[in-house]
Chains A and B, each alone.
Chain A
Amino acid sequence: MYVYDRHDQKIVDERVAQYRGQTERYLAGELTDEEFLPLRLQNGLYVQRLAPMLRIAVPYGLLNTRQLRALAAISRTYDKGYVHISTRQNVQINWPELAEVPDILAELAAVQMHAIQTSGNCIRNTTTDQFAGVAADELADPRPYCELIRQWSTLHPEFAFLPRKFKIAVCGSREDRAAIHAHDIGIELVPNDAGVIGLRVLVGGGLGRTPVIGSEICPWLDRRHMLTYLEAILRVYNQHGRRDNKYKARIKILVKAMGVDAFRAAVEREWQAVKDGPTTLTEDAFEYAESFFTEPAYRELDGADEARALDRQCADEPIFGNWVARNTCEHRVSGYRSVTISLKATGYPPGDITAENLELLADLADRYSFGELRTTHQQNLVLADVAASDLYTLWQALQAEGLATPNIGYLTDVICCPGGDYCSLANAKSIPVAEALQARFDDIDYVYDLGPLDLNISGCMNACGHHHIGHIGVLGVDKKGEEFYQVSLGGSQGKDASIGKILGPSFRQDDMPDVIERILNTYVSLREEEESFLDTYRRVGIEPFKERVYATAD
């Protein structure tokens, strides 16, 4: 993974010193709340319902074990001994003291981490596929691109006070696991006719109050123009994005208002001014970035042998077999698999993990996965490079600590924002809904029978739980001061991304497990053979679901 040199380190250290000064000035009354707000936000600090929340950047989801241990230590010293993995692959702690945040940032800087631009109206952490570099369906490794974007966007002088937040995602594989259609800018690495990898650029996707699927503004861009082209897009947005209404300030609204062709033309105009300038990427720059994402020292394994041995182990111990089937996936290198560790055990808030378990995973990553670990936007963790012959011992270690819940991609792998338990913007709680659903659907065979199913919960319109792109989406709404939940169906991420459709009037929290059960029963009764929930929905539409859910409700 990327390693700072003295330049990177200096930037992060100077940022810590700057923020220390800002915090001191704020505490001394020299900065107003209003002035301090964007400064703390751009260093990851929110002031939440109960306490501040610090969001720590995990660039494109990659962590080494030194960083994992530092996060565990920080959560113990400054917080309550656990952290939360966010849907933007970042790590959040919920109870730090405002005055101690500069110390936390200094400890992060010591392990080459920071919280720069994890919130505020600026360019946020660039996200990508959690299986980057190891996926069997990958065309190009997105991580060097992400790193170049990270550097370019970090403390960019022109774009620190944008109309609104700005999110970029990159995908380099056939299947899109980075939800690039739901980002302000989505980049897909694609070959042109000559087989040269370049960038397909989408713009104006996003969730929130007005969910929109991104539009293509460039089918193929030479990769050396990546940064100047991004700069041109950002400049058009910075100058013309709306600033009078925060609900209309995202780039998707600007693209809609201008029309995608006019927007593209405006970008082209700006681009001509900076194209081929010093920000044009060089081959050396790519080589340098790529040099950090080389293959680890894989053992030479006989894939067929390994597969047979694994099959035997799975047959001998069906619980292990379940876990292998659900929580591991194919790896580019023969004899290896990628393992997803579910943070969705029933009874725990989705995405939360304790300091002890972080340390355990650090040990396991050192032993079995080249000392690296990844966060996913589904709020799970990934050990990307595990030899098939190590899976059984790894599983035993995970199982002993309750970290082997075999539900990746299934109903109970609920994606859920922190919601009303933590977040001051929430309309409703989200974690209790997730927990009630996990408790109701605790029959794992039933859950498997339902097939792959994304259930996403957001506590408000900000859509941190990505409810619009869940096959089943749940949104907390406020009805005369009471917490209600609106359900939508048919959303999806991936290359055929779609926005879910609202089922109808919203429901009380207590009714949610029944409502979801009726939706699932409808699916089960209508599906044909092996048809997935999403395919059935796409075939029959929303009406049959509506009828049954509301009919029974009377």
Chain B
Amino acid sequence: MPRLIKDGRIVEEPTAPMLHSLEDWQALTDKTGTAVQLEPGDDLSPLLPHLGSIEVVAVSFPAFMDGRCFSYARELRERGYTGEIRAVGHFIRDQLTYLSRVGVNAFAPAGDLDLDDALGSLADFTEFYQASNNEPLPLFRRRT
């Protein structure tokens, strides 16, 4: 059964969500409970009116150096999306802290990334300067 990291734990997923490309997804008449996969370069705005009904937004990493998905995830969270954001593709373990901080809560890497190791990297940092998904206030509002 496929395994992935979700909300800080390794879980098994009996049935993977049906990930639509943005174009296919836009053609769906009923968007309730749907899953859509964003590729770098996609336009986020078609999703915005449906944030309440989408179940999974996958952000795709064709190559790990392409950082556009970091902005997608952050924007989705800023606009109030509370469903799952799943990183898929070729990101690397060292990006996990950043990804979780911009609001990605599920990680399904392609290739042979060891999930236990990856899980460990989620805890690389425990203190941050910026406001982010796991710490709503920037450090300058928290210094004591």
Contact = CB atoms under 8 A, between A and B. Distances in A.
A278 B94 contact: no
A35 B64 contact: yes
Given A7-B143, A10-B126, A161 B70 contact: yes
B66 A285 contact: no
B137 A278 contact: yes
Interface stretch (A146-154, A348-356, A403-411, A522-530): A146-154
Contact of B130 (A157, A284, A285): A157
Contacts of B141: 278, 282, 285
Interface in B55-107: 64-68, 70-71, 74-75, 78-79, 92, 94-95, 97-99, 101-102
Contacts of B124: 14, 17-18
B67 A238 contact: yes
Contact of B127 (A11, A31, A273): A11
Interface in A302-326: none
Given A157-B101, A157-B130, A239 B68 contact: yes
Interface in B89-144: 92, 94-95, 97-99, 101-102, 124-132, 136-143
A39 interface: yes
Contact of A288 (B67, B95, B98, B143): B143
Contact of B125 (A11, A148, A285): A11
B96 to A, nearest CB: 11
A285 B71 CA distance: 26
Size category of the B interface is 35 or more
Interface string A1-41: 00001010011001101100010000000010001001100
A281 B70 CA distance: 23
B66 A152 contact: no
Nearest to B64: A35
A162 B67 contact: yes
Given A151-B140, A279-B138, A159 B128 contact: no
Main DSSP-derived SS at the A contact region = helix
22 contacts: A7-B127, A11-B125, A14-B125, A14-B127, A18-B94, A18-B124, A151-B140, A155-B128, A155-B129, A157-B74, A159-B67, A161-B67, A161-B70, A162-B67, A235-B71, A239-B68, A273-B78, A274-B78, A277-B131, A278-B136, A278-B137, A279-B130
Interface of B: 40, 64-68, 70-71, 74-75, 78-79, 92, 94-95, 97-99, 101-102, 124-132, 136-143
Interface of A: 5, 7, 10-11, 14-15, 17-18, 22, 31, 35, 38-39, 121, 148, 151-152, 154-163, 227, 235, 238-239, 243, 273-274, 277-279, 281-282, 284-285, 288
User: Which 5 A-B residue pairs are closest in the complex by CB-CB distance?
Assistant: A161-B67, A157-B101, A285-B140, A157-B98, A10-B127
